Structure formats: C-alpha cells, structure tokens
C-alpha cells in the first residue's frame, strides 16, 4: 500500500485489537493491500466501494444502517461520491473530532464518532444519552473506522444474519477472514459476485465446525498444547432491532474435536455424528439410513437420497451440545450398544471436557474387564441390565461393592480391584458424579464386547428428549 497520507497510522490499519469486527475488516484490508500495492488507502476504499455499489447493489444494510452507500435517496454515482467525500474528510481530519483514547485500539489519538452508519452494533449517534459522556457515538480512531468498512468482505451470510469468525489465536482469526475475502475477490474477478458471500451451513453451530474442518485441512498453525478458542459472531445491524449472538467453541472442545479427526478415529466419529443431523425445512421427513450413511426423504412420488456432502451442513445435536457445554455422553452410550466407537474417544472426551480424572477412567476400564472376564453371556447381560437400572448413587455403590469388589475377592484374587482410595477419591468423590461413572462403565463394557465380536441384547437409552439435547 502506498503511504500517501501522513495523517494515517498505517500500523494500526492491520494491527490486531481483539475486537472481532475491526480485526476481520483489518485482515480483509491487508489482503487488498497485498493484491494492490500501488494503491493508497483512499484508492483501496473506492475500489471496494465499486464492489459494494456495482456488484452488490449497495446491499450492505446488515452492516451499516443509513450509510452513504445504503442511502436509498442516492443513485449509484452519488453513493460513490458521498463515500469518497466522507472517507477523504476522515483521512484528512476535516470532520469534527476529539482527542483521547480509542475505544477499540486504545490509541491516544484523534477520535471520530462511530455510529450505525459506519460501524457495527455501536448505537445511534442521535441518542446522545446512549453513549459515554453524552458523545455523538462511540469514539474511534480513523484507522478503526476505515477497517470496519472492509468487514463485509471478511464475513458471510448465515441464515438471516452475518457470521464473523474470531479467535484468541491471531493466525486462526486471520485465516477465516482471509478465506472469505479471497472468495469474494475471486467471485468478483469471475463476474459472479452479486452480494455478500453466503454460507451453505444451515445453523451457526454446524457452520463453526465446518470452519474448523477447513482450518484443520488447510492451516498448520497450532499444537495440542495451545488453548485456542474459536467464536462465531452471528449478528445484524439492520433496522430497529440490531442483534448479536455468540457461539463459542472452547479450547477443550476444539482440542477434543481435533483429536476425533485423526485418521485412526475420524471414520468412527463422523459416522457417530452423522446419525444426529437434523433435517432442514426442505427435507422435514428425511430419516437417517444407518446402512449407507444417507438420509432418505420419501414423498408420494419418489425418494430423495441425501448424501453427506449435503447433510453435513444441517444442524447437528452433537455440535450444538459441544458448543453449549452440554454432555454428549448419553449419545455415546446409545451409539456404543450396536456400534464400535473407540474407547479412546470416550477417554479423551471425559478427561479433557468432562474433567474426569485419569485414575477414574482407568479404574472403570479395569472393572469392565473384570465383568467380562468373570461372567458368561447371561452374567454379562445381567450385569448390564442391573447397571442400566441404577438410578441413584447408592445403587451404583452397591453394585461396585457387591458385583465387583466382593465377587473379585470371592474368586480368590490376591490383590484388590478397588481400594479405599479408588472408591473415595476416584469412583465416588462426590454425590453428583455417579451417573457419569455408570455411563462410562456401560460404554466400556459395550466396547469391549465389540472388540470380542460379542453382542448382548440391551435396551437403548432414551436421549431424544433429554435436557442435554440443545438445538441451535
């Protein structure tokens, strides 16, 4: 970028701030400055203005309400000219300003009002009692206001609102914004761009995981040890009801999901998740076909087969629960009865997300091994039925003491399968963990049966109406 204007702090046009909207806009601006190094900042602004007005028909209302571009009283030529006038005046500091600290960057510099016409979710400049110190708007540096202008290029339509992806990791945040910007630039270059980039995902939760898939496939910028959080901001700045909802994938869930995508576990995990997609409005009657991992939608005339390439963008119960910090263990249990599901997935989930102690899950595995080794088929079935019928902490304690500890001793084993420390510190450290322990024990039993190619008929747990099931 040509540094034509001495009034601009060029470092702050690109420097990360932690604000999702200005950062995304800054990454888009950075991409443009790389593509057009011979243009100065005003020329880049006008180049993007041409896209907004000529290609997108000035439809950027979800970002900037009553801006120079979205003003219906202006024709295309006037929209461009008024935009040029505003940003020229902003750059040259010809419009009223105050001196102080920018609300986003923290710069001690000249500040200008940021209202709904030039920023996102900042309130209206007409209501001075809305803003700090009765100011005309949130006061920002000119650099932050310029960056926000590029936000439409670094985001996309998702359902009826705009989606912006951000992260506490700068490279991850830049990755998503740059991907959107490159897609927009490519579409403009091919003359097929007619508006804001549209996501094929049918829900914010699923969109977030599809973004992560793209990250895992294309960006090698992280390690298991780093605590990277990814958030999707789903917002609109349009009309009388501006709104934003934030969907966050905590670092624990991010690391767990990355683990499931390892070659060793990916197929099992994807097959498990596939059965929990929820059909969209277009395919309300679609039902999942376990045999070939498709959804089949039948009507009076024909059957429609929907493959994973399409349904992987529907809303998904598993994704929704992970985002909302709701347990997916009941889903694991239901899946385990009839299908192989590596216990390493369960182990990773319990330790990293549910915070189960490693000693606890190791002891549970040991008890599962004993149940299978000390019982015939009928005995295993009886044990499963008994466990499945456990409805409180007391009954589970009795099962462990009678059906495992006492039985292990009566069989003449010299060592102890459950010590006092195991019992008090790991299996029953409090009264609230018994259900988690029971379910993990059942899953361990089922998976060990699968490993031995044994099947014991059991009742499927009900999870469809569980309070743990969250829809987005």
Per-residue pLDDT at 127: 46
Helices 41-50, 20-35: crossing angle, 10 deg rounding: 100
**Quick check: 201 pLDDT over 90?**
yes
pLDDT tens digit sequence for 81-102 = 999 999 999 999 999 999 999 9
Pairing of strands 303-306, 315-316: unpaired
Residue 34, judged by CB atoms within 10 A of its CB (0-12, 13-18, 19+), counts as: exposed
Indicate the range of 137-146, 162-171, 423-432, 454-463 predicted with least confidence: 454-463
Per-residue pLDDT at 455: 79
**Quick check: 144 pLDDT over 50?**
yes
DSSP string over 421-453: HIIIIII-SSTTSHHHHHHHHHHHHHHHHHHTT
Query: Residue 407 and residue 282: Cα distance in Å, rounded?
Result: 56
Query: Residue 158 and residue 232: Cα distance in Å, rounded?
Result: 11
Pairing of strands 287-289, 161-167: unpaired
| Encoded tokens for 407 | 């039985």
Place 116 in a pLDDT band, splitting at 50, 70 and 90: confident
**Quick check: 61 pLDDT over 60?**
yes
Indicate the range of 208-217, 225-234, 394-403 predicted with least confidence: 225-234
**Quick check: 257 pLDDT over 90?**
yes
**Quick check: 68 pLDDT over 60?**
yes
Place 472 in a pLDDT band, splitting at 50, 70 and 90: low
On whether the pTM is more than 0.85, the answer is yes
**Quick check: 133 pLDDT over 80?**
no
Query: Residue 48 and residue 87: Cα distance in Å, rounded?
Result: 13
In contact, 350 and 440? CB cutoff 8 Å: yes
Place 128 in a pLDDT band, splitting at 50, 70 and 90: very low
In contact, 323 and 405? CB cutoff 8 Å: no
Place 132 in a pLDDT band, splitting at 50, 70 and 90: low
Per-residue pLDDT at 467: 43
**Quick check: 130 pLDDT over 80?**
no
Per-residue pLDDT at 124: 56
Place 15 in a pLDDT band, splitting at 50, 70 and 90: very high
- The alpha carbons of the chain give a radius of gyration, in whole angstroms, of 28
Query: Residue 386 and residue 395: Cα distance in Å, rounded?
Result: 9
Mean pLDDT computed over 165-187: 94
> Across 52-197, where does the E strand assignment appear?
98-101, 108-114, 138-141, 156-158, 161-167
Mean pLDDT computed over 151-161: 94
Mean pLDDT computed over 432-450: 94
Indicate the range of 19-28, 396-405, 424-433 predicted with least confidence: 424-433
Query: Residue 366 and residue 417: Cα distance in Å, rounded?
Result: 8
**DSSP single-letter state for residue 74:** S
Indicate the range of 144-148, 168-172, 244-248, 281-285 predicted with least confidence: 281-285
């Amino acid at each position: 970028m040509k540094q034509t204007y001495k009034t601009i702090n060029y470092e702050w046009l690109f420097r990360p701030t932690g604000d999702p909207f200005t950062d995304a806009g800054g990454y888009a601006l950075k991409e443009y400055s790389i593509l057009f190094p011979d243009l100065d900042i005003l020329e880049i602004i006008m180049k993007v203005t041409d896209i907004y007005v000529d290609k997108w028909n000035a439809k950027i209302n979800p970002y900037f309400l009553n801006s120079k571009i979205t003003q219906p009283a202006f024709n295309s030529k006037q929209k461009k000219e008024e935009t040029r006038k505003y940003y020229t005046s902003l750059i040259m500091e010809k419009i009223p300003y105050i001196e102080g600290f920018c609300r986003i960057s923290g710069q001690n510099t000249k500040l200008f009002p940021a209202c709904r016409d030039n920023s996102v979710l900042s309130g209206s400049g007409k209501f001075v009692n809305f803003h700090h110190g009765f100011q005309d708007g949130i006061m920002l540096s000119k650099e932050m206001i310029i960056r926000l202008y590029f936000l439409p290029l670094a985001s996309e339509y998702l359902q009826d609102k705009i989606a912006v992806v951000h992260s506490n990791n700068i490279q991850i945040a830049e990755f998503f914004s740059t991907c959107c910007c490159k897609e927009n630039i490519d579409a403009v270059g091919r003359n097929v761009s007619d508006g804001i980039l549209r996501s094929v995902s049918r829900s914010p939760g699923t969109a977030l995981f599809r973004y992560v898939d793209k990250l895992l496939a294309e960006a090698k910028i992280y390690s298991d040890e780093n605590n990277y959080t990814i958030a999707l901001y789903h917002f609109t700045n349009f009309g009388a009801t501006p709104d934003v909802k934030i969907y966050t994938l905590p670092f624990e869930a991010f690391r767990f999901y990355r683990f499931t995508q390892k070659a060793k576990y990916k197929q099992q995990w994807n097959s498990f998740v596939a059965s929990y997609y929820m059909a969209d409005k277009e395919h309300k009657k679609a039902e999942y076909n376990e045999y070939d991992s498709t959804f089949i939608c039948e009507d009076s005339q024909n059957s429609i087969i929907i493959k994973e390439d399409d349904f992987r963008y529907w809303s998904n119960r598993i994704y929704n629960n992970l985002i909302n910090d709701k347990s997916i263990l009941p889903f694991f249990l239901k899946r385990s009865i009839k299908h192989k599901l590596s216990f390493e997935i369960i182990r990773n989930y319990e330790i990293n997300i549910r915070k189960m102690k490693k000693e606890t899950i190791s002891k549970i595995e040991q008890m599962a091994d004993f149940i299978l080794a000390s019982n015939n088929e009928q005995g295993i079935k009886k044990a499963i039925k008994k466990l499945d019928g456990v409805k409180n902490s007391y009954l589970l304690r009795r099962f462990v003491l009678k059906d495992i500890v006492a039985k292990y001793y009566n069989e003449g084993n010299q060592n102890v399968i459950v010590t006092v420390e195991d019992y008090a510190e790991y299996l029953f450290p409090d009264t609230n963990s018994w259900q988690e322990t029971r379910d993990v024990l059942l899953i361990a039993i089922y998976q060990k049966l699968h490993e031995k190619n044994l099947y014991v008929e059991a009742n499927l747990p009900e999870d469809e109406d569980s309070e743990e099931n969250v829809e987005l």
